[in-house]
Amino acid sequence: MIIHLKNDVDKQIADTIASDLNAFLLYKDGKYVIVTSSHIKEIQENHQAYVDTFLNFDHDIQLSSRKYLQGTREIKIGDVIVGGCTNNTLLITGPCSVESREQIEQSAQLLKSLGLSTLRAGTFKSRTSPYSFQGMGSEGLKLLDEIRVKYSLKIITEVFDSSQLDEVADHADIIQISAKSMYNQASLKKCGKLNKAVLLKRSFGATLQELLQASEFILSAGNDQVMLCERGIRTFETKTRFTLDLCGVAWLKQNSNLPIVLDPSHAMGYAYGIPDLSRACMAMGVDGLMIESHPDPARAKSDVHQQLTHPAFIKLYGSLKAIADVIGRKIV
């Protein structure tokens, strides 16, 4: 249940009610909001005097639901805005991992040449083998910081454990919760205390229900700057790396108020299919696309097969822009 308290209810009373209900207390637009388990269906008699409105839910998709908030939430990444009343589609690109200053400079230049705003690159990499490249860690973060200043770019980079969060939050404009740590509630709760945009990637083994419930950990802790990312789910089909779930995206657009970013690169796993899939993603009318590119994919230290060359990305950009025009969206 989401309860909006009356305007004149003060913090002490709001705290008491939240505590009574074992619930979360939020403060928004000048009034207190209480979020309980969806199992609670009625207002207690002793609370009724303080309650303005309340809303029941069938399950724990509450703050993230379109039932609660009709439109799409607006996310501010500095001066770049997605969701809300904009028809912006954030086109993010960059390499899988930060590997060197030279590499990341080339990526930054690609973005600038196309007028794009947001660079992706990982430094804490959640790899499936200890014997692979594990990312540059803190050193990579510092490189990203320099690039951000030098090129006036927004930076999105990932975390996979709560221990990395403070450091990443200091250097990134958008914190990416990696797919493999979507269930890491320690990170989610900590993100809820930050005042920073979060891109929550769907675990490849997670249902849509679980994805939205993961977002509720962040929202209920007070941070409403959450975007969702579909990046492919694991199915029986192994000719491609994962299976991009665009049916699920259609469901999210209908049922959730969070902006949606699509990552065709990890879904497909092979560069040859990325242009067609990216165009399909754009035609879905989503709030963002994240496409891996690399100055020299064959020599990348991770995701060798799926990163586009810069010329391939530039060519793709043209057709994405044409589709965006046709469906009334603006690439930012």
Looking only at residues 160 through 219 of this chain, which bind a second copy when binding is defined by CB under 8 A?
A: 160-164, 180-181, 183-187, 189, 203-210, 213-214, 216-217
Q: Which is nearer to a second copy, 90 or 282 (CB)?
A: 282
Within residues 269-328, the interface with a second copy by CB under 8 A covers 272-273, 276-277, 279-285, 319, 322-323, 325-327
C-alpha torsion sign, points 95, 258, 200, 233: negative
Give residue 9's identity as a one-letter amino acid code.
Answer: V
Cα separation, 57 vs 67, whole angstroms: 9
Least distance to a second copy, CB of residue 43, Å: 17
Q: Measure the CA–CA gap between 58 and 213, rounded to whole angstroms.
A: 13
Using CB under 8 A as the binding rule, the residues of this chain from 60 to 119 that contact a second copy are: 60, 62
Looking at the DSSP bridge assignments, the partners of residue 158 are 176
DSSP state of 72: P
Q: How far is the CB of 260 from a second copy (least distance, A)?
A: 11
- Which range touches a second copy (CB under 8 A), out of 45-53, 75-83, 124-132, 144-152? 124-132
Whole-angstrom Cα distance, residue 169 to residue 197? 10
Nearer to a second copy, 84 or 269 (CB): 269
Q: Give how many residues touch a second copy by CB under 8 A.
A: 85
Q: Answer yes or no: are the C-beta atoms of 43 and 51 closer than 8 Å.
A: yes
List binders of a second copy among 247-266 (CB under 8 A). 247-251, 253-254
Binding pattern for the stretch 17-56 against a second copy, x by CB under 8 A and - elsewhere:
------xx----------xxxxx-----------------
Give the dihedral sign, CA 34/37/43/44.
Answer: negative
User: Using CB under 8 A, which of 70, 129, 149, 195 touches a second copy?
Assistant: 129
Rounded least distance, CB 105 to a second copy, Å:
25
Among positions 8, 79, 85, 131, the unique one binding a second copy when judged by CB under 8 A? 131
Least separation, in Å, of the C-beta of 235 and a second copy?
A: 5
Beta strands in 74-131 (DSSP E): 74-77, 80-83, 88-94, 118-120
Torsion of CA 110, 112, 114, 117, to 10 degrees: 110
The interface region with a second copy, picked from 26-34, 67-75, 78-86, 234-242 by CB under 8 A, is 234-242
CA dist., res. 244 & res. 273, Å (int): 12
Q: How far apart are CA 256 and CA 239, in angstroms?
A: 31
Q: In whole angstroms, how close is the CB of 327 to a second copy at the nearest point?
A: 7
